[in-house]
Structure 1
Amino acid sequence: MDLSAITRPVGRLVATAQNGLEVLRYGGLETGAVPSPFQIIESVPMYRLRRYFPPDTRRGTTPTGPPVLMVHPMMMSADMWDVTRDDGAVGILHKAGIDPWVIDFGSPDKIEGGMQRTLADHVVALSEAIDTVKTVTGRDVHLAGYSQGGMFAYQTAAYRRSKDLASIVAFGAPVDTLAALPMNLPASLAPAAADFMADHVFSRIDIPGWLARTGFQMLDPIKTAQSRLEFLLQLHDREALLPREQQRRFLASEGWIAWSGPAISELLKQFIAHNRMMTGGFAIHGDLVTLSDIDCPVLAVIGEVDDIGQPASVRGIKRAAPRADAYEFLIRAGHFGLVVGSKAATQTWPTVAEWVRWLDGGGTMPEGVTPMALQPAQHTESGVSITSRLAHSTAAATEMALSVARSAAGALVTANRSARTLAVETARTLPRLARLGQVNDHTRISLGRIMSEQAHEAPKGEALLFDGRVHTYEAVDRRVNNVVRGLIEVGVRQGTRVAVLMETRPSALVAIAALSRLGAVAVLVPPDGDLAAAVRLGAATEIIADPSHLDAARRLDMRVLVLGGGESRDLHLPEDADVVDMEQIDPDLVDLPGWYRPNPGLARDLAFIAFSTVSGDVVARQITNYRWALSAFGTASAANLSRSDTVYCLTPLHHQSGLLVSLSGAVVGGARIALSRGPRPDRFVQEIRQYGVTVVTYTWAMLREVIDDPGFSLTGNHPVRLFIGSGMPAGLWKRVVEVFEPANVVEFFATTDGQAVLANVSGAKIGSKGRPLPGGGEVALAAYDPEDNLILEDERGFIRRAEANEVGVLLAHPRGPVDPLASVKRGVFAPADTWVSTEYLFRRDEDGDYWLVDNRAAVIHTARGPVFAATVNDAVGRLGAVDMAVTYKVDVDGQTVAVTALALCPGGSIPSADLSEALADLPVGNAPDIVHVVADMTLTATYRPLAGPLQKQGLPKASRNAWYRDPDTNRYKRLTAAVRTEIAGSR
């Protein structure tokens, strides 16, 4: 009888029992492994800085290798870099001649105040550790981070602008978090879910170590179950288990630490809900940071079957940091396998060592490391799926079946993606439109009220960005309330008209909001205009100024209230000066009077007075709270603004567009407001990346100052998705969307009284004003005869509606108060109905989109028929060489000549054939008599090109850049002196 048949199973059973008892008693098998030696170089409450294999100072030896500082994720112990001495990161790097350092954030639940740590605390701590390593070694540091530690590495490098960094090595570190989420979660739903979890869950709880471990394992439940089953089946074979026992114990229990709630909330809000690793504008202790400031080399180690740091997400670093030389190293491994285990020991860490030596000048580029290709910007939601992870652990035959399943799932995702996106946008937009639709004369609504609501809903939300700093809604709201108390102290009451003379900065925004909250009227005085005329027209009794405008304000015969100005505020005022320094008023000592109610403004109440210049005269534009609400809610809806957006306010706050579109749209949408000091080409690109700007506001040709500047350069990724404003010339529009692809333009048209609002939301038709804004007032086109300047009637005596592509006068069905100066018409389309004539001429194309034709009073009447300036300008503006165009009339000997002036892009030229083609088939009206090129155009303070200075010059002179329309051929030919004389004498 073979006794081995009996003893072998018994021995196996006994070995299983012995090993199992050891695991139950001690948590694992005793391996005899000892940790690698290290020295604590620095110990502070936030972290301890370890230097592994420290030099023997007694012998005077120092390591010759470059330093590598390794960063662990928050939920994982710093011991992850030394799970096994021979096969762990620090051991392999040391043997390769590298100087390994590790930052240890410790377990926050065991440190006083640790569970209140934020992401910013970790970034600042890591930056301090880099300084220490640099000081001790005297060499630039290679920063290596795993998973969230890699995110810390990127964020710290951006925070430091790559100072003292030799390179960044990131292992499975997500950058474009919405490109591919774990478990193939849809990117369209992630922001709302992450915002909810951040605001309502992790603002109240923390994650203990055991829960972090469980969550990590549940992200790959198949592999977790597989590993446990393999361990149980091999429990009898101690020798087979020992090589991987340290790794198993680390993942099963020892490697996990607690995670503070504030840090989780910040991670969810900034880097998942708002994806600010990609867009920029994330805050580190009040400073705004962008990955585009990274300019040191980057190596991204990518796992083919990594479900947490999915390849599409990790590769986002290429777009997020366009100035960095980005490389990748792809291995067939999951998330943890990138840094611990057999593949890490044989592939990852030898490659990292070669990378460091290569950059240090002592080697060649590691095999398998390749330049990273630029990934598409769109989120495809096609990351590593469950089927991919199953395929990694199953047989090749099963791979084929799962591939079919993957394809089917992908088709389903594609089919449903647009529906999900539409649902999310609708859920955001409908409540705004519904609220706007409920506004009547007696509705309490105002800028101050909406800002209060936002501060109540998201007190810690980021509201205002300026000069690289961030201010929360809570801080801004508190400052507004303090200024309200100051205004009450100096006697300002509800209804008082107060002029605001300030440059665009936070104090100006606060002053405007405080006047709104008080129920006073903000008279928005243009600093570069006729101050005395504006103050007189606005009937202001007080003026608020910042220190830079104090001297100008004091020249007016009224009391001056000085607000803001930063840290240096030495006003140097004489004792008899009628000036009040608002900053010297202690708001806590101001008793609120019985009449004060915050945000008392009704929709019908006057809220603001803005100014424009018409034919050289200053004209006051009264803006009610209803007019404000229409623009604010309409902008937020048309641009689909949310808390994920940052609105870059290029337009000054005293301008209607700056107030009604930029500021107010952002406030209603809950977006961040980034105030600028104007369209400065040297700061534009830097600020859109630093702030993470997603929406840029403009007026007329403002963006020309930026993209036509010789020093302008936009390389790599940018976060902008929309430009919103009004009056952008067609040629500039084309250049903007080409330069900032895939960003779009949302062009608005709004009358000064707000009764008619149009918006080109799709941006598909360059030059179109779009369609009536949902939630706004009803508009209609009244048929119009431009020859006789008459609105046409039908056989019953009512106004006839214009047909498609027929010129008509834009009428608006009034909602709310009607401007006393408005042209009101009754009995228009039905008995006793009321409409307001905007006096603008439009045409509506077959699709229902509106196109501006001209102002009714500005139509050029020539012997050939009417010439419509806007139609001509749009047509020639589509020529690639044209920067801007203006069309105007010149009267010569009783005859009217229509002239179009062109400003060309740098280096541009216009062949006469292209000009003839562009003006051959205008949708309405006639082509101009003369077209000529001018060196430049005079622009208003709002960047609107002026025709007046050109009109004064009379007929253009004959030149190679001037053409006339030949009446016989309807083609444009060179304007000669003889032809010019003929035109001057006969037309």
Structure 2
Amino acid sequence: MARPGAIVKLSAKDLVSSVQRLMSTAQNGLEVIRFGGLTTDVESSPFEVVERRRMYRLRHYFPDDATPGRPVALLVPPLMVNADIWDVNAEDGAVGILNRGGIDCWVVDFGSPATEEGGWKRDLADHVLAVNSAVDTVSEATGAPVHLMGYSQGGMFAYQTAAYRYGKSVASIVTFGSPVDIVAGMPFGLPYGLVSDVADFVADHVVTRLPITDSMVRFGFQMLDPVKTAKSRIDFLRQLHDREALLPKERQRRFLNNDGWVGYAGPAAADLLKQFVVHNRLMSGGFVIRDHPVSLAELKCPILAFLGEVDDIGQPAAVRGILHAAPNAEVYEAGLVAGHFGLVAGSTATNRTWPLVRQWIDWMDNDTPLPPEISRMTEHVETNAPRSAATRVLHNAAALVEAGAGMGKALENIAASTVRGSVELAGEAARALPRLTRLGMIQPNTRISLGRLIAEQARRAPLRECFLFDDRVHTNAAVDARIDNVVRGLISVGIRPAERVAVVMETRPSALATVAALSRLGAVAVLLAPGSELVGAMERTGVRTVVTDPENVCQSVETGRRVLVLGGGSARTLDIPSSANVVDLEQIDPSEVRLPAWYSPDPGLARELAFVLVTGTGDRLELKYITNHRWALSAFGTATSADLDRSDTVYCLAPLHHSSGLLVSLGGAIAGGSRIALARSLVPERFAEEVHRYGVTVVTYTWTMLREILDAEVFPAGHAHPIRLFIGSGMPAGLWRRTTEKFAPARVLEFYASIEGDVVLANVTGAKAGCKGRPVPGTARVELVAYDPIAERILTDESGFARRCADNEVGLLLGKASEGLDISDGGLRGVFVAGDSWMPTENLFRRDGDGDYWLIDRTDTVIKTARGPVYTQPIVDALNDVTAVDLEVAYGLASNEGTIAVAALSVRAGHRLSPGDVTEAVRALEPGRRPDLVHVVEEIPRSSTYRPSTRAVQAAGRPRAGQDTWRYDRSSETYEILTEDAARTLFGD
């Protein structure tokens, strides 16, 4: 080492070398300054533009190669990257390598929004439809299906396009670092809840107003890895003297530093954030192309997904989401130690990616063996990140050491899950608190109604999807406008506030619009099931006008009431008698209707009647009076209990004339800001298709509705689905267990709501099958009081007040009467203290030691035997849990021994049931609460709401002696075949 102050002598050779290096650096630097980079002799691959459209140009590479029968590849770039990405390494790039491998290459070029006409107004659907058009052009020109390939968001376009066209003319899909499950693989381990909220705000308030220019895109990508960006620039400067070393990478450097980036249209960015970040709808399904809902479940062609093990943008977990999102496709993967850009450009892409793509196509077209690097994608269990962190460190070791970032990377994964969980819990609380607060603020004179909440949604987010029906999406603004038009039609024919108007309609958009329009007008909707006993229901409810659809117009005319017809469009014809009092609302021009001075939109007060639900038949006809407050209570209670939000799509299997459809499905979805998917009827095959196509996350049900879906086996075991929750009421315990087993990890959220009053229970956890749960926050306080079901009276203590039940004691459920509620019709006062007010329900419950409530029976269906009361619901639940049992009912039957308890059941197809099965099933019941007779019937009819009909079974006749009727032997505590002699003793002749 030279001493300080010593003079270092350079040889002539060293001096010449230094001068030459300095001159080379200056010369090359000047060329970079003047031209943006070094001039290379590498030429771009030849192509011609064969089609020019507003949204894209279609490039055909190596157009002079006319080799017949070649496989065809259509390559799609992401929006922020120039289409030259496929040729960035020229002959060692994608199109060069694939062409030498005998593949005909076509490329979609979206251009730059800064230079294309209307470019800054492009949305996501424009690009998907552009790729769709390009597939048509290429397949028509070549006569062959295309292998659709996409990088990053281009791969997302490939998935969406193939699904949109149901796979037509698509041989396979190949993607490179294309995320599908955004929740599973947030870039850089950021918490999804936080990113979702930020993305939602940015989509609504930032990107739609601020153009994302190419310079902003370039800067953003460079900041995704600032260490690597800085290091590459330092390396370039260090080697600026060595032109030969720089030239092989010069095209790639210039592409990354400047030439490769294009701007991003705001509407497209907003769509991306809304649909695929906030709602994660590539994964769940239900993303929207124009007004069509689409799901990746439509994909059936083979898929190859390349993933980079050190890719922080298209993280492996996010890329692997395609396995669940496309359950009907064969999905393969190829993992490379590469970052996001390295998957398609650079040495790894040249040596690994594109040769593998060529071998994939050979396997597809020529049935050659797949290379070992390509394997079937299977379930991946994520480990605790040390491996991925270690891989990333090894891949970027030099850069990480220089940046001192080693410790930061090590700590990143430790904190990620904790932060993510905290943010998600905070998100649930943030959603629940405003709903509960609003419920608590509702007073009798508060203006609140269905129509009002829909109007609020339309003002807050007019372009957000409101509901889906028959593969069409309707926005909040469109739905609100339709409701206003129906209001004008109703006003024009004389409908006034507080008037009761029957609604007899199938599930369809017009039914929803009618119910909401009556609410907006301040009228009362009396919801009647098509095919039910309309005349008796209308007489009981005082209805003089019926709104119906074309399918039910004849039945409605037969009631003798004035009939208003809505739905089906103005072009359809109505086959009705000319003398009928019928008005076709579709023929009324809303713009010609002058609104009267008395009209005020959404005038409904909380205390006012909003709906009347009619159940039962004949002398058992029951009316449920639903005030605006009662509806809001169920709506916000459902949204809170089910944690519904804008990411959910609620599938309304229950009809609107049922409480589950009106209060839970429609109410919960609107209160939660969720999308509503309306089902015309329960068809298992259609259910399976629409669950995926609409991206259904929540399914509503009534009683045994899900039985058809389970029996149809439309979801094979292990079949991926987006459903997280089933919500409704009346599901038997056995069917509950079958549902959760088939649709794991989805759970059941069972509700109970009283006919009168504000009692709402919910089994939020779903841990106890058959349990009704606990009171929903914000609903009425409940009490369980001792009750004598034989004498039909509440039992009191020494002071004369009602006695509260102990745990597991059967009692009558009461709900605290809300302030201002008129309790003169069936209410109770002075129950626990002088002057208090309570509304009794019609049901008996027990409360277990955990504080959860279990439905035991209705007060009017308890079987009053000589040995005491026998409750029907425990019998039904016990029998329903037997695998062979399909449906069951329990009831009382007169005999020579007095009233006995009878259970009737039907057997599932392909199963057998023995008396021993029944004996084991009812062991959970006290001996005195077991049925005296159990008999097998061929079928148990059900109502329009899928409730097994006890009355229909009773009407079919009493049980007969034989192999399918079993009597309980109390001495042996077993069920034995009912003999002819025993039957005569029991029933006589």
> TM-score normalised by the shorter chain: which range applies?
over 0.9
The reply on whether 1:834 has 2:837 as its aligned counterpart is: yes
Query: In the superposition, relative to structure 1, how do residues 393 and 800 fare at CA in structure 2: closer, same or farther (>3 Å)?
Result: same
- 1:19-60: per-residue Cα shift (whole Å, max 9, x none)? 22211221111112211111111111111101000036xxxx
- 1:717-737: per-residue Cα shift (whole Å, max 9, x none)? 211111111001111111111
Residue in 1 that maps onto 2:733: 730
The reply on whether 1:967 has 2:970 as its aligned counterpart is: yes
Residue in 2 that maps onto 1:492: 495
* Cα distance in structure 2, aligned partners of 1:721 and 1:324: 22
* Cα distance in structure 2, aligned partners of 1:919 and 1:410: 52
Q: State the one-letter code of the partner of 1:969.
A: S
The offset of 1:257, in angstroms, is: 0.6
Match 1:270 to one of 271, 275, 292: 275
The reply on whether 1:295 has 2:304 as its aligned counterpart is: no
The reply on whether 1:322 has 2:331 as its aligned counterpart is: no
Give the TM-score, by structure 1 length: 0.95
The reply on whether 1:40 has 2:43 as its aligned counterpart is: no
Contact in 2 for aligned 1:174/1:309 (Cα 8 Å): yes
The offset of 1:435, in angstroms, is: 0.5
* Cα distance in structure 2, aligned partners of 1:473 and 1:176: 27
The offset of 1:652, in angstroms, is: 1.3
Gaps in structure 1 of 5+ consecutive residues: none
Residue in 2 that maps onto 1:91: 96
- 2:567 alignment partner, SS class: coil
Gaps in structure 2 of 5+ consecutive residues: 1-9
Query: In the superposition, relative to structure 1, how do residues 138 and 616 fare at CA in structure 2: closer, same or farther (>3 Å)?
Result: farther
Match 1:740 to one of 720, 736, 743: 743
The offset of 1:195, in angstroms, is: 1.5
The offset of 1:96, in angstroms, is: 0.6
Residue in 2 that maps onto 1:162: 167
Instruction: Out of 915-924 and 873-882, give the one that drifted further.
Output: 915-924
Residue in 1 that maps onto 2:186: 181
Residue in 2 that maps onto 1:643: 646
Report the identity percentage: 53
The reply on whether 1:874 has 2:877 as its aligned counterpart is: yes
The offset of 1:861, in angstroms, is: 2.2
- Structure-to-structure mapping, 1:624-663, within 5 angstroms: 624-663=627-666
Residue in 2 that maps onto 1:558: 561
Contact in 2 for aligned 1:494/1:519 (Cα 8 Å): yes
Contact in 1 for aligned 2:25/2:240 (Cα 8 Å): yes
* Cα distance in structure 2, aligned partners of 1:799 and 1:924: 29
The reply on whether 1:510 has 2:513 as its aligned counterpart is: yes
Match 1:682 to one of 685, 709, 732: 685
The offset of 1:653, in angstroms, is: 1.2
Contact in 2 for aligned 1:192/1:273 (Cα 8 Å): yes
* Cα distance in structure 2, aligned partners of 1:538 and 1:904: 39
Query: In the superposition, relative to structure 1, how do residues 803 and 615 fare at CA in structure 2: closer, same or farther (>3 Å)?
Result: farther
* Cα distance in structure 1, aligned partners of 2:824 and 2:25: 95
The offset of 1:914, in angstroms, is: 4.2
Query: In the superposition, relative to structure 1, how do residues 668 and 640 fare at CA in structure 2: closer, same or farther (>3 Å)?
Result: same
* Cα distance in structure 1, aligned partners of 2:735 and 2:152: 43
The offset of 1:205, in angstroms, is: 1.8
Residue in 2 that maps onto 1:825: 828
The reply on whether 1:51 has 2:60 as its aligned counterpart is: yes
Residue in 1 that maps onto 2:132: 127
The offset of 1:6, in angstroms, is: 2.1
- 2:745 alignment partner, SS class: coil
The reply on whether 1:471 has 2:474 as its aligned counterpart is: yes
- 1:290-326: per-residue Cα shift (whole Å, max 9, x none)? 1000000100011010111110110111111111111
Residue in 1 that maps onto 2:701: 698
Contact in 1 for aligned 2:79/2:262 (Cα 8 Å): yes
- 1:919 alignment partner, SS class: helix
Match 1:4 to one of 13, 26, 31: 13
The reply on whether 1:534 has 2:543 as its aligned counterpart is: no
Match 2:309 to one of 290, 296, 304: 304
* Cα distance in structure 1, aligned partners of 2:742 and 2:227: 46
* Cα distance in structure 1, aligned partners of 2:792 and 2:580: 56
* Cα distance in structure 2, aligned partners of 1:18 and 1:187: 50
Match 2:921 to one of 906, 918, 943: 918
Match 1:584 to one of 587, 600, 624: 587
Residue in 2 that maps onto 1:595: 598
The offset of 1:382, in angstroms, is: 6.4
- Structure-to-structure mapping, 1:561-576, within 5 angstroms: 561-566=564-569, 568-571=571-574
Q: State the one-letter code of the partner of 2:485.
A: N
Query: In the superposition, relative to structure 1, how do residues 257 and 410 fare at CA in structure 2: closer, same or farther (>3 Å)?
Result: closer
* Cα distance in structure 2, aligned partners of 1:37 and 1:764: 64
Residue in 1 that maps onto 2:6: none
Instruction: Out of 449-458 and 186-195, give the one that drifted further.
Output: 186-195
Instruction: Out of 709-718 and 82-91, give the one that drifted further.
Output: 709-718
Q: State the one-letter code of the partner of 2:378.
A: A
Query: In the superposition, relative to structure 1, how do residues 221 and 119 fare at CA in structure 2: closer, same or farther (>3 Å)?
Result: same
Contact in 2 for aligned 1:805/1:923 (Cα 8 Å): no
- 2:827 alignment partner, SS class: strand
* Cα distance in structure 2, aligned partners of 1:302 and 1:46: 29
The offset of 1:194, in angstroms, is: 1.8
Query: In the superposition, relative to structure 1, how do residues 787 and 529 fare at CA in structure 2: closer, same or farther (>3 Å)?
Result: closer
Match 1:283 to one of 288, 304, 308: 288
Number of residue pairs aligned between Structure 1 and Structure 2? 979
Q: State the one-letter code of the partner of 1:25.
A: R
- 1:198 alignment partner, SS class: helix
The reply on whether 1:195 has 2:200 as its aligned counterpart is: yes
Residue in 2 that maps onto 1:345: 350
Match 1:227 to one of 226, 229, 232: 232
Residue in 1 that maps onto 2:5: none
* Cα distance in structure 2, aligned partners of 1:67 and 1:83: 20
The reply on whether 1:15 has 2:20 as its aligned counterpart is: no
* Cα distance in structure 1, aligned partners of 2:590 and 2:135: 43
Query: In the superposition, relative to structure 1, how do residues 503 and 164 fare at CA in structure 2: closer, same or farther (>3 Å)?
Result: same
* Cα distance in structure 2, aligned partners of 1:722 and 1:677: 20
* Cα distance in structure 2, aligned partners of 1:954 and 1:818: 44
Contact in 2 for aligned 1:626/1:816 (Cα 8 Å): no
The offset of 1:397, in angstroms, is: 12
- 1:935-975: per-residue Cα shift (whole Å, max 9, x none)? 22111111111122333455523333433222113233343
* Cα distance in structure 1, aligned partners of 2:544 and 2:668: 29
- 1:857 alignment partner, SS class: coil
Instruction: Out of 691-700 and 619-628, give the one that drifted further.
Output: 619-628
Contact in 1 for aligned 2:189/2:416 (Cα 8 Å): no
Residue in 2 that maps onto 1:110: 115
* Cα distance in structure 2, aligned partners of 1:402 and 1:869: 67
Query: In the superposition, relative to structure 1, how do residues 427 and 330 fare at CA in structure 2: closer, same or farther (>3 Å)?
Result: same
Q: State the one-letter code of the partner of 1:971.
A: T
Instruction: Out of 165-174 and 936-945, give the one that drifted further.
Output: 936-945
Contact in 2 for aligned 1:496/1:541 (Cα 8 Å): no
Contact in 1 for aligned 2:757/2:839 (Cα 8 Å): no
- 1:730-757: per-residue Cα shift (whole Å, max 9, x none)? 1111111111111111101111224211
Q: RMSD across aligned C-alpha pairs, in angstroms?
A: 2.4
* Cα distance in structure 1, aligned partners of 2:599 and 2:71: 66
* Cα distance in structure 1, aligned partners of 2:715 and 2:79: 40
* Cα distance in structure 1, aligned partners of 2:825 and 2:932: 34
Contact in 2 for aligned 1:92/1:350 (Cα 8 Å): yes
Residue in 2 that maps onto 1:949: 952
Residue in 2 that maps onto 1:244: 249
Match 1:885 to one of 884, 888, 898: 888
* Cα distance in structure 2, aligned partners of 1:183 and 1:345: 27
* Cα distance in structure 2, aligned partners of 1:344 and 1:397: 23
Match 1:448 to one of 448, 451, 474: 451
* Cα distance in structure 2, aligned partners of 1:668 and 1:916: 46
Query: In the superposition, relative to structure 1, how do residues 281 and 567 fare at CA in structure 2: closer, same or farther (>3 Å)?
Result: farther
- 1:835-866: per-residue Cα shift (whole Å, max 9, x none)? 11113110000100000011122211223332
* Cα distance in structure 2, aligned partners of 1:122 and 1:89: 22
* Cα distance in structure 2, aligned partners of 1:383 and 1:778: 51
